[in-house]
Chain A
Amino acid sequence: MMSMYSKKVIEHFLNPRNMGKLDDPDGVGTAGNPICGDTMTIYIKVKNNRIVDIKFQTFGCAAAIATSSMITELAKGKTIEEAEKITRDDVADALEGLPPIKMHCSNLAADALKAAIDDYKKRKKR
């Protein structure tokens, strides 16, 4: 099964970056896939319109964990506008590709980040 994943996916699965929760997040977003049961939560800390800290928690397969880890790396340090533009393909490309059946995992990561940013915007309006 290892062979179906790129080295990068395995590396992120075994050593996920930015794993865990933020104590006082400015935005929280969750995305889930009801078919395979995967669930992903992303927490962001925003300062001067920039994501200064980001963490994730994921229940899912190796691809789901690796895509969560990767999207936190991609989003960290970016402005909100830049982070919003991160697509599932960006995540998959950064991981040197995903098996076709696992592409929905990168979707999940992009959706969770988007949800966290939306949450941040909502909170800001209040």
Chain B
Amino acid sequence: MEKRIYLDHAATTPLDNEVLEAMLPYLSQKFGNPSSLHSFGREAHDAIEDSRKKVADLIGAKEKEIIFTSGGTESDNLAIRGVAYLNKDKIKEEGPHIITSSIEHPAVLETCRDLEKEGFKVKYLKVDRYGFIDLDELKETISKGTFLITIMFANNEIGTIQDIEKIGKIAKDFGIIFHTDAVQAVGKLDINVRRLNIDMLSISAHKIYGPKGVGALFVREGIRLKSIQTGGGHERGLRSGTENVPGIVGLGEACRLAKERMNEDTLHMTKLRDKLIKGVIENIEESYLNGHPEKRLPNNAHFRFTAVEGESLVLSLDQKGIAASTGSACSSKKLQASHVLLAIGLSPVEAHGSLRLTLGRENTEEEIDYVLDVLPDVVKRLREISPLWRKK
């Protein structure tokens, strides 16, 4: 396979060279434990604090509001459980205690489901056909016992960007803590936690050209959490365990680069995305865009094709050197169709015919041309095999 085109940046991104360079010393000679008092410890400690500043700068936070974690999933768990366990007495009061949406990442959904087993009541807000929650419904759902609203910034499958500023305002007006899983949005959208009234925000390094296994949680000054991991009291007692120094350095550098390149990257990816969407919709009959045409991540294109199944599409594209993804059941461990696609009102068969192409800063126009050249034939071939095509 000579040609390889990576269009799965929502899954993970390549490690940026500058990030790698920044990390390397901390994988070799600068190996100290940040808690140590000697010079080895100090240089590791200083590196972490430098990274904390870079992460804070990207989202308009203060340095002391950044907690390093092992990634997006842990950040979501710490935010949601951390608040829930300090509000156990609220179980007695009228719920829902936590309000979230039906299209969250499993890191949020499964954490909420787990908390339900412990007695917390959770409301999973429905979404419209684009994936937006209803702000009036959100307001009406809030009750005396509600202590947390957790709504993702931008959806990992269909790319829909919620009206975070308004959600933040509602939470603020009611005095409820607002957490957002911003794993897909960070580095692509201009985020300022103060302007948007965000209280907690989850970040993952490997979605922004950083390394895997590291992330961060922004926790607004004054918000208390119960730690979910006990130990030596690292990260203000919220996340015990010797810090992943090379990973944290990588995250910091990735955030610095993301800030520096955001305008350029966003412009570039939006241009490619729109070319891709236009080319697919115009050249493949019965192809549709999932999610909102404008209020979507600059790098996300999500399609469905009548009578074609997603895994077959992804494997066929892989044969042509194109790395894509699907929300299809048969690609994951469970056979159910994607909960996101079902929530926006697609039938299971429609949901299974979906294809996600997510761009990165390194993709080129030539690559998009190649995809637009190859995809119509791939869809055509699968339709020739399909009994659902033209049989309706």
Residues of A within 8 A of B (CB): 1-2, 10, 13-14, 16, 19-20, 30, 33-41, 57-65, 101-102, 104
Q: Is the interface of A mostly helix, strand, loop or mixed?
A: mixed
Instruction: Chain A residues near B314: list those with CB within 8 A.
Output: 1
Q: Specify which of B329, B330, B388 is in contact with A39 (CB 8 Å cutoff).
A: B388
B5 CB within 8 Å of chain A: no
- Give the contact stretch, choosing among B140-148, B211-219, B379-387: B379-387
Q: Specify which of A34, A57, A101, A104 is in contact with B387 (CB 8 Å cutoff).
A: A57
Q: How far is the CB of B107 from chain A (nearest CB, A)?
A: 22
Can you show 17 pairs from A to B with CB atoms below 8 A apart? A1-B315, A1-B331, A13-B315, A14-B319, A33-B335, A35-B329, A36-B337, A37-B309, A37-B349, A37-B351, A39-B388, A57-B387, A59-B349, A59-B385, A61-B312, A101-B333, A102-B330
- Contacts A2-B318, A36-B330 hold; do A61 and B385 have CB atoms under 8 A apart? no
Instruction: Chain B residues near A2: list those with CB within 8 A.
Output: 315, 318
Fill in one digit per residue for B298-332: 1 if any A CB lies within 8 Å of its CB, else 0.
00000000011111101110110000000011110
Instruction: Tell me the bound Cα distance from A1 to B11 in angstroms.
Output: 14
- Contacts A36-B330, A101-B335 hold; do A60 and B309 have CB atoms under 8 A apart? yes
Q: Is the CB of A63 within 8 A of B386?
A: no
Instruction: Chain A residues near B331: list those with CB within 8 A.
Output: 1, 61
Number of A-B contacts (CB under 8 A): 80
- Contacts A19-B384, A61-B328 hold; do A38 and B315 have CB atoms under 8 A apart? no
Q: How far is the CB of A101 from chain B (nearest CB, A)?
A: 7
B230 CB within 8 Å of chain A: no
Q: A13-B315, A59-B349, A61-B310 are in contact. List 15 more A-B contacts (CB 8 A).
A: A1-B318, A13-B312, A34-B348, A35-B329, A36-B336, A36-B352, A37-B337, A39-B388, A41-B387, A57-B386, A59-B385, A60-B330, A62-B311, A65-B385, A101-B333
Q: Is the CB of A60 within 8 A of B315?
A: no
Q: Which of B115-158 contact A (CB under 8 A)?
A: none
Nearest residue (CB) in A for B351 is A37
Q: Is the CB of A58 within 8 A of B384?
A: no
Q: Is the CB of A35 within 8 A of B388?
A: no
> Which residue, of B311, B314, B316, has the highest number of chain A Cβ atoms within 10 A?
B311
Fill in one digit per residue for B357-392: 1 if any A CB lies within 8 Å of its CB, else 0.
000000000000000000000000000111111000
Q: Is the CB of B387 within 8 A of A36?
A: no
Instruction: Chain A residues near B333: list those with CB within 8 A.
Output: 101
Q: How far is the CB of B300 from chain A (nearest CB, A)?
A: 20
Nearest residue (CB) in A for B387 is A57
Instruction: Chain A residues near B315: list those with CB within 8 A.
Output: 1-2, 10, 13, 62
Instruction: Chain B residues near A61: list those with CB within 8 A.
Output: 309-312, 328, 330-331
Q: Is the CB of A62 within 8 A of B337?
A: no
Nearest residue (CB) in B for A4 is B331
Q: Is the CB of B335 within 8 A of A35?
A: yes
- Contacts A1-B315, A37-B349 hold; do A59 and B336 have CB atoms under 8 A apart? no
Instruction: Tell me the bound Cα distance from A63 to B330 in angstroms.
Output: 9
Q: Is the CB of B387 within 8 A of A39?
A: yes
Instruction: Tell me the bound Cα distance from A111 to B387 in angstroms.
Output: 16
Instruction: Chain A residues near B328: list those with CB within 8 A.
Output: 61
Nearest residue (CB) in B for A20 is B384
Instruction: Tell me the bound Cα distance from A57 to B381 in angstroms.
Output: 12
Q: How far is the CB of A72 from chain B (nearest CB, A)?
A: 12
> Which residue, of A13, A19, A20, A60, has the highest number of chain B Cβ atoms within 10 A?
A60
Q: How far is the CB of A22 from chain B (nearest CB, A)?
A: 13
Q: Is the CB of B319 within 8 A of A59?
A: no
Nearest residue (CB) in B for A19 is B385
Instruction: Chain A residues near B307: list those with CB within 8 A.
Output: 59
Instruction: Chain A residues near B384: list those with CB within 8 A.
Output: 19-20
Instruction: Tell me the bound Cα distance from A16 to B308 in angstroms.
Output: 16
Q: Is the CB of A36 within 8 A of B329?
A: yes
Instruction: Tell me the bound Cα distance from A1 to B324 in angstroms.
Output: 11
Instruction: Chain B residues near A58: list those with CB within 8 A.
Output: 385-387
Nearest residue (CB) in A for B388 is A59
Instruction: Tell me the bound Cα distance from A65 to B382 in angstroms.
Output: 10
Q: Is the CB of A36 within 8 A of B335?
A: yes
Q: How far is the CB of B223 from chain A (nearest CB, A)?
A: 41
Instruction: Tell me the bound Cα distance from A64 to B352 in angstroms.
Output: 13
Nearest residue (CB) in B for A33 is B335
Instruction: Chain B residues near A37: list those with CB within 8 A.
Output: 309, 329, 337, 348-349, 351-352
